[in-house]
A and B are shown apart, each in its own frame.
Chain A
Amino acid sequence: MSFLEINNVVKRFGSLDVLRGINLSVEEHQVVCLIGPSGCGKSTLLRCINGLEPISGGEIRILGDRVSGAGVDVDRLRRDVGIVFQSFNLFPHMTVLENICLAPRQVLKLSKEEAESRAIELLRRVQLEQKAKAFPDQLSGGQQQRVAIARALAMQPMLMLLDEITSALDPELVAEVLDLVRDLAAEGMTMLLATHEMGFAKEVSSKVCFLYQGVVHEEGSPERIFGDPTEDRTRGFLKSIIEAGRM
């Protein structure tokens, strides 16, 4: 039994079939990367796993427990599955500390002291403890994204979903965020991430999945996908990435 199993998941927006039967599994402590052209459904898949979008068909299981479909306690699911977005989505009216403490206090019912000491610890590890009292708009993009990661980690999730977390950042800020993800991977955090950073994907992932037209077109070890892809579409995609100078 895998940690996360995605069986034949279908997602439609009206008449638009975005996911047409995704099959994918993630083992505990694995880092799985989703790559693929823009609009192929990477973000949609991650949002479905987190229950932010209801799926139109198939099923999603975590540790054998079905977490998709009617009657599932999505708030409970989201406690165990953290997600970080491309656009940070920090709460602009709260300080960094308040951003991080909100969910632990309201959802996990931690005391203020407990939540804050947990938050400070996380801020220290993302090297932002001196920014605890700052508001999001007073931070750089890279700093905001690190806070967003800390905020998700504060719920101590079993699985982290990262949706192109560096694509809104200036190149010199990408490294500080990727370093953090690299550390998380080394600690054994189970992660599923959509990314356009092919070099990074090659380096950290246990498995790479190429999404194309709503299905997993090809999957395999990073060495194989990047070194010797068997499918034409995968080759074409990687070629265009190399031509764009992103690998």
Chain B
Amino acid sequence: MNTHSDRFRAPSIPKSAMPLSTAALLISSLTTLLTWFVLWQLALAMAGVTEEQVAVSLEKKMYWSAMLARVSDLPWFAWLVLAVLALVPLLLFFPTVKAILQARQARTALQFENLIAARVATANSSNFSWYAIGYSVFVVLFFGGIWFVIAKDIAVGNTFFKLDLMWEKASLVVSAFLTNVFIFMVAQVFILIWGLLIALARMVPGAAGQPIRLLATLYTDAFRGLPSVITIYLIGFGLPLTGFPILGDLPPVWYAIFALTLTYGAYVAEVYRAGIESIHPSQMMAARSLGLNFTQTMRFVIVPQAIRRIIPPLLNDFIGLQKDTALVNVIGTIDAFNQSRILASNNFNLSTVTIVAILFVLITIPQARLVDRLLEKDASKTRGAK
């Protein structure tokens, strides 16, 4: 009793928000300076200034006049882009200024012993400060990246991002990428079916199901452990050598699909199994109690619920699969990676490989968003307002 009233007699006074907002101001300012420095370097790089020329001008003590002369030759749209980029870090000052104003307001409120107003203003101030600091980090990393690309006479840029070369070879690489797309599209369909079969085989009930369970377990253990590149290699080179009627003379792309289905089928089987086991046993019991047999219960009750839960981990495995289509180059299939490597060695430049890298990243993003959307839609359909 006593302690309660004591606590309320001495309410907590909010800590001053001044130091944090001052730090935010400092960080935003430094970020802005760094940004402008990088942009200046970028302007120099675009104007074709080399490190050597910079060194010479410094020696002659005429850095600014020499450099400004060079930079002034840049076309107007280059200036436009640079100017817009230069304005970006200034946005940081909106939250920073708000943070400082709120911190001052908190101080005034405290002087008038208006504790509630002081708390609100302090909370606002620290929110704005962290917002500014967070975005500063973002901006620093972004412009730091640009600096990395243009440093040392655009060493990184010319190695990985040679735009004219990329532009010229893009269509070749993209059309080779269609091979990757074909492989993973077809493999995904097979994997969905094959993985489910394996998962169900691992869960067949009863003593009679034991040999089936054992087989399925052996399979998953083996193919999850086997690196997919080895599976592709063995199947892609091995099966044609055996001379089996149909299996022996498929086009290489189909060996890749076969090998990837075997590997990823094992992964996906485990995902299915985890999903099925995550459905509470009472669902199985309820379905069986209505007279549905094991297969009907799985088909109508358990698997439909499990699917909804496994879509995110399934997408993970599918993205893994999509990336692994690049491994088919070991059996000589001309996929995007193989094509870009050929182009890279012909041109002594890695920029064509960068295109493939970008393509792989680009295809995964819409998939992730689509899955988010689907899950959200399903959730809002079956969930109550509770």
Interface residues of A (CB under 8 A from B): 47, 50, 52, 74-76, 78-79, 82-83, 85, 87, 89-93, 102-103, 106-107, 135, 137-139, 151-152, 155
Query: Which residues of chain A are near B288, meaning CB under 8 Å?
Result: 52, 74, 78
Query: Contact at B282–A79, with CB atoms within 8 Å?
Result: no
Q: Which DSSP category, helix, strand, loop or mixed, fits chain B's interface?
A: helix
* A137 adjacent to B384 (CB under 8 Å): yes
Contact in complex: B291, A79 (CB < 8 Å): yes
When distances are taken between beta carbons in the complex, the residues of chain B under 8 Å from A83 are 289
Residues of B at the A interface (CB closer than 8 Å) are 282-283, 285-293, 296, 300-301, 304-305, 308, 381-386
Scoring B283, B291, B304, B383 by chain A CB atoms within 10 A of each residue's CB, the highest score goes to B291
With a cutoff of 8 Å between Cβ atoms, the chain B residues found around residue A152 in the complex are 289-290
User: Contacting B285 at CB < 8 Å: which of A52, A76, A138?
Assistant: A52
Closest to B285 in A: A52
17 A-B pairs within 8 Å (CB atoms) are namely: A52-B289, A76-B291, A78-B289, A78-B290, A78-B291, A90-B286, A91-B286, A91-B305, A92-B305, A103-B292, A135-B382, A135-B384, A137-B383, A137-B386, A138-B382, A138-B383, A138-B385
Nearest residue (CB) in B for A139 is: B384
Contact B292 A107 (CB under 8 A): yes
Residues of B within 8 A of A107 (CB): 290-292, 296
Q: Which among B285, B296, B304, B386 is the interface contact of A93 at CB below 8 angstroms?
A: B304
Nearest-neighbor residue (CB-CB) of A78 within chain B: B291
Contacts A85-B282, A89-B282 given; does A151 touch B382 at CB 8 Å: no
Pairwise interchain contact A75-B289, C-beta atoms closer than 8 A: no
Distance (whole angstroms) from the CB of A194 to the closest CB of chain B = 15
Choose from B289, B382, B383 the contact partner of A50 (Cβ within 8 Å): B289
**Docked-complex contact A93 and B287, CB < 8 angstroms:** no
A93 CA to B168 CA in the complex, in Å? Answer: 51
Compute how far the CA of A151 lies from the CA of B286 in the bound complex, rounded to whole angstroms.
10
Cα of A184 to Cα of B300 in the assembled complex, Å: 29
- Residue in A closest to B290 when the chains form the complex, CB atoms: A103
A102: chain B residues at CB < 8 Å are 287, 290, 292, 300-301
- Tell me the complex Cα distance, A47–B308, Å: 29
Q: Are B290 and A138 in contact (CB under 8 A)?
A: no
Q: Which of B286, B288, B293 has the most CB of A within 10 A?
A: B286
